[in-house]
Amino acid sequence: MEKISIDKLHDLVSGMSEDELILDVRTPAEFSEGHIKGAKNQDHETAGSIADELKNYKTVYVHCKMGGRAQKAAEDLEMAGLTNIVCVSQGGMHRWMEMGWEVE
Structure confidence by residue, pLDDT tens digits, 22-49: 999 999 999 999 999 999 999 999 999 9
Instruction: Delineate the domains of the chain, giving CATH numbers in brackets.
Output: 2-98 (3.40.250.10)
Structure confidence by residue, pLDDT tens digits, 66-101: 999 999 999 999 999 999 999 999 889 999 999 999
CA dist 1 and 62 (Å) reads: 11
DSSP result, 11-80: HHHTT--TTEEEEE-S-HHHHHT---TT-EE--GGGGGGGHHHHTTSSEEEEE-SSSHHHHHHHHHHHHT
| pTM for this predicted structure | 0.96
